[in-house]
């Protein structure tokens, strides 16, 4: 998390078992590439997809 904050980058942690994680990662990548505001909520729960 500290490294992502220093680089001013998004932090993504996912599990390959759940397809929804791949779908959300794709949305984050597209929003970063096209400079669109990502409307996915931040998730910080342990054991789940982490989006910060």
Domain boundaries, the chain: 2-51
* CB count in 10 Å sphere of residue 25: 17
The torsion defined by the Cα of 3, 4, 9 and 12, in degrees rounded to 10, comes to: 140
Local confidence pLDDT in tens for the 52 residues of the chain: 788 788 887 777 766 666 667 777 788 788 878 888 878 777 666 666 666 6
**pTM as predicted:** 0.52
């Amino acid at each position: 998390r500290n490294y992502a904050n220093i680089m001013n980058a998004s932090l993504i942690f996912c599990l390959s078992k759940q397809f929804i994680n791949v779908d959300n990662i794709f949305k984050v990548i597209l929003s970063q590439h096209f400079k669109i505001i990502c409307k996915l909520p931040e998730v910080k729960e342990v054991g789940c997809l982490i989006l910060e």
